[in-house]
Structure 1
Amino acid sequence: MILALCAGVLAGAMLMTSDAVGAETTHQILGFDDLDGWAEDDHAAALSVFLNTCGDLGDPDWRSICAAARAQSPNAAKSFFELLFRPIMIHDGAAPMFTGYFEPELSGARFPSSRFRYPLYRMPEEAREADPWLDRRDILTSDVMDNRGLEIAWVDDPVELFFLQIQGSGRIRLPDGDMLRVGYGGANGHPYRSVGVELVRRGVYEAHQVSAQVIKSWVRKNPEEGAELLFHNPSYVFFRELRHVDADLGPPGAMNRSVTPMRSIAVDPAFTPLGAPVWVEKDGADPIRRLMIAQDTGSAIKGAQRADIFFGTGDAAGRAAGRLRDPGRMVVLLPIQRAYALLQDGAG
C-alpha cells in the first residue's frame, strides 16, 4: 500500500537538481505506461542480468530490492520492476545519443615475432602515480616501456590494437588456438579524443559516413597519415590479463561482472547509478525498446542521456556496434523510495 501510494504521488512530477559539476539537471518521474514498448519486452531476461550485479550494490534500498529479485519467478519479472521501481527521465541539456561497443578478437602471441610486433602493456607504476602521465605519442615513440617485462602479448595489427584500447577489453587468439582475455588495466590520464571527429574536421568525411570500419580502412590506405591520425588521441589504455572469466560469458564491466549482449550498457555514473535498470528507447534504422542494466562505464560516455550498448564479441558484433550512432532516450529505474526522496529534496 505504501509503495502504491508513493507511486501515485510521484507520477508525472518534475524537479530540478544539480549534478556534480554544478550544471542544472532535470529529473522527471514517469509512469510505466509512458515507456514505449514496455509491455512487450522480455522482463525475465532483464531480471536475470540485473541479478548478475545487484548483489554488489551496498545501499540498504538496493540490498532489499536485490533480495526481492532473487525470490522472483521469471513470470513475475514485469510486476517486480513495476512494484519496486519508478522510471526517472534525467536531462542535463545535452542531446541524447546511443552508441555501441563490443569485445574485439585479435590475433596475437605470448612472444614477439616478425608477425606479432605490437605489444599490449600492463600499467607501469609511475603511470599510476601521475595524472596525467605520458601521452600516446610519447609512450609509443620513446623507449620508456622497453625491457621492463610489462608486455602481456603481441598482436599483428596496430590499428586493431588502437580500437581494442577504445573498447577497453578483448580476446587474443593465440597460434595454438587458445584464447587470452584482457581487460582494462588503467590509463595514462589524458582525455579521449575521437579520431573520427578529427577526420570530419579535416573534411575527409561527412559525420554520417564515419564508423570504426571506415576509420580502419582510411588508416590502412594512408599509413603515414594514419599513424599520425592515431596520435590525435592522447589517451592510452593499459591492460590486465583476465584469467578467471568463463569463456562463454562477456567481458567484465565496470562492476567487475560479465556484461551481457544487448542487455548491458555503459553509462555516466555521475547521472545513472551502476547496477540500475535503464529503459532504452533507441531510435534510428533499427529501433530498440528494451530494459537494460547499467553495468559499465566508458571514457567517452558522458552525460545523462548518453549510453553505450554492448553488442557481444567478434567481428559481427563489432560491425553492428560501429554503425550505431542514434538518438532516442534512456529512462533510469530507481528504487521507489529513492525516487520519492528525490522529489522531497526538490521540493525542499
Structure 2
Amino acid sequence: MRSAFAARLAPALAIVAMLAGCALGPSKPPRVPEPRSIDTAPAPLPPLTGPLTHPKTRWVPVAWAELPGFDEDTTSEGWVALLANCQRPNAAFAPLCGEVRRLAIASPEEQRAFLMERLQPYRVEAPGGQSEGLLTSYYEPVFDATRQPSATHAVPLYGLPPGAGRGRAWYTRQQIDTDPQAQAALRGREIAWLADPIDALMLHIQGSGRLRITEPDGRQRIVRLAFAGTNEQPYRSVQGWLAGQGVSPIGRWPEDVKAWAVQNPQRVPQMLWSNPRYTFFREEPLGEVDAAFGPRGAQGVPLTAGRSVAVDRDAIPYGTPLWLWSAGPTAQLQRLVVAQDTGSAIVGAVRADFFAGTGAEAGRFAARMKQPLRLWALWPRGLDPSGTAVSRN
C-alpha cells in the first residue's frame, strides 16, 4: 500500500506533470546518442517476437544507450504515471510497485538507476522490422452545459442505453438523431445539454471530458464525463469526409470545422452523420485530487498529462512503461510514458496516442500532433511480455 507521504505527494506531482504536459517537450531537439560499446551493455537476451503473446509486434532487446535523451528526462514527472500504473498493474510489473512507491521522492539519479537495474529496454518493431511509426494526440475537452434543454443548449449527451455497448451494432448516429425508436430508447438518459453539435462530436471522438454545468437552481459546478460505451458502429473521420467534399484541408480543429459549419448550416447534419460512431457517457464527481489527473484510461487508472499514451493493446500490454521519441513540427519529445489507454484508431506496433492534458491549449496541441514515432518497451528483466521467465543462454 502506498505510504501516507507518497499519497499526499502524488497529487502535487500530478499537477507538475500536467503543467509539464502543457509545455509538451524539451526546449531543445532530441539527441540520439551514439551507442556505447557492446561491452557496456547488459548480457544479450533473445529477441521477443509477437507470436509469443502479441502477434502485431516484435520486441528487440537493446542497450540503454539506444534510448535518446534518457539521461535528460525529468523522471519525477514520469513517476506520476508509474504510481498511477501501480493502482492496477499488469502481472509482470506488480512486483516492482513497492519500489516504485518508495522512490516517488527519490532523486532523478536514483529513479534512473532503478529503471536500468530492474527493467530491460526493447525496441518495439512491426513484425517486418519497421521501427518507425506514428504519434498522434488526444485530450480532455471542457465545455459549458446545462441540465435542461433550452433555446441555446439543445444538443444532448446520453448515458449508455440498454442494448448498446455489448459487442453488437446499435443505431447509427443518423438514426439516433432521426429514428423515433432510437430516440425512445434514449429518453430519460440525458446527462446534460450542449450548445454546439460539433462540441458534442468532439466529446464523442475524445471519449471523455469535463462539463461546467449550470444546475436548475443556477449553481455551477464542474463534473467529468467518463466513457461508458459506444454504439459499436465503425469510426469515420469527419475531416476525411470534408476532404472528400472538396473542402480545403482543416488546419485548426475544431475552429475551421465550426467556421465551415457557419457557412454551410444545411450540410452540418450530413457532416456529423458521416461518422456513424456514437459515444455514451457516465457522470463522475470531480474532486480536488481527480482534477489533477485526466480521465481513467482503458487500463482503469487516471491518465497523466504528457506521460500517458494510448496503444494497440494487441501490440503492447496495458501498464507497460515505454520510452517515447518523436520529432516534428509540433513538438520534440523524448520521455518516459506508460501505456494506459487504447483507441479504435490506434492500431499497429509502433503507434501511440499521446494524452496532452485538459482544456483548450491541450486541444490545440492534440489537433496539430501527427509526426514520426519510435518506441522502446521497458519490461522487467528476465520476463517475456506474457510474464514467463526467459533464458539468457
The reply to whether TM is greater than 0.5 is yes
Pairing 1:33-182 to 2, within 5 Å after superposition: 33-59=65-91, 61-72=92-103, 73-75=105-107, 76-92=110-126, 96-129=133-166, 131-143=168-180, 144-146=182-184, 148-175=187-214, 176-182=219-225
Residues 330 and 178 of structure 1, relative CA distance in 2, 3 Å threshold: same
Distance 2:293 2:390 in 1: 40
Per-residue deviation at 1:22? 5.4
Per-residue deviation at 1:15? 5.0
Aligned to 1:9: 44
Pairing 1:298-313 to 2, within 5 Å after superposition: 298-313=343-358
Aligned to 1:226: 268
Give the paired residue count. 340
Residues 42 and 204 of structure 1, relative CA distance in 2, 3 Å threshold: same
Per-residue deviation at 1:197? 2.3
Per-residue deviation at 1:228? 0.7
Residue identity in the other structure for 1:29: P
Q: 1:15 touches 1:343 (CA, 8 Å); kept in 2?
A: no
Aligned to 1:273: 317
SS of equivalent residue, structure 1 residue 125: coil
Which segment drifts farther, 215-224 or 13-22?
A: 13-22
Distance 2:266 2:391 in 1: 55
SS of equivalent residue, structure 1 residue 269: coil
Per-residue deviation at 1:205? 3.2
Distance 1:227 1:20 in 2: 43
Distance 1:347 1:62 in 2: 20
Q: Deviations over 1:178-213 (max 9, x none)?
A: 11211101001112111222333444235x847443
Question: Which residue, out of 253, 274, 281, partners 2:297?
Answer: 253
Residue identity in the other structure for 2:302: S
Which segment drifts farther, 32-41 or 170-179?
A: 170-179
Q: 1:172 touches 1:181 (CA, 8 Å); kept in 2?
A: yes
Q: 1:6 touches 1:340 (CA, 8 Å); kept in 2?
A: no
SS of equivalent residue, structure 2 residue 220: coil
Q: 1:15 touches 1:346 (CA, 8 Å); kept in 2?
A: no
Per-residue deviation at 1:108? 0.6
Aligned to 1:196: 239
Query: Where does the alignment leave 5 or more consecutive residues of structure 2 unmatched?
Result: 1-39
Query: Where does the alignment leave 5 or more consecutive residues of structure 1 unmatched?
Result: none
Per-residue deviation at 1:339? 4.0
Q: 1:191 touches 1:235 (CA, 8 Å); kept in 2?
A: yes
The TM-score, its normalising length taken from structure 1, stands at 0.88
Q: 1:17 touches 1:346 (CA, 8 Å); kept in 2?
A: no
Distance 1:301 1:191 in 2: 14
SS of equivalent residue, structure 1 residue 120: strand
Per-residue deviation at 1:345? 7.4
SS of equivalent residue, structure 1 residue 70: helix
Per-residue deviation at 1:103? 0.8
SS of equivalent residue, structure 1 residue 67: helix
- Provide the aligned C-alpha RMSD in A: 2.9
Distance 2:254 2:86 in 1: 33
The TM-score, its normalising length taken from structure 2, stands at 0.79
Which segment drifts farther, 160-169 or 259-268?
A: 259-268
Q: 1:213 touches 1:319 (CA, 8 Å); kept in 2?
A: no
Q: 1:124 touches 1:150 (CA, 8 Å); kept in 2?
A: yes
- Identical aligned residues as a percent: 34
Per-residue deviation at 1:221? 2.8
Distance 1:89 1:162 in 2: 36
Per-residue deviation at 1:341? 7.9
Distance 1:7 1:220 in 2: 60
Distance 1:296 1:44 in 2: 21
Per-residue deviation at 1:58? 4.6
SS of equivalent residue, structure 1 residue 200: helix
Distance 1:228 1:167 in 2: 20
Q: 2:383 touches 2:390 (CA, 8 Å); kept in 1?
A: no
Which segment drifts farther, 240-249 or 181-190?
A: 240-249
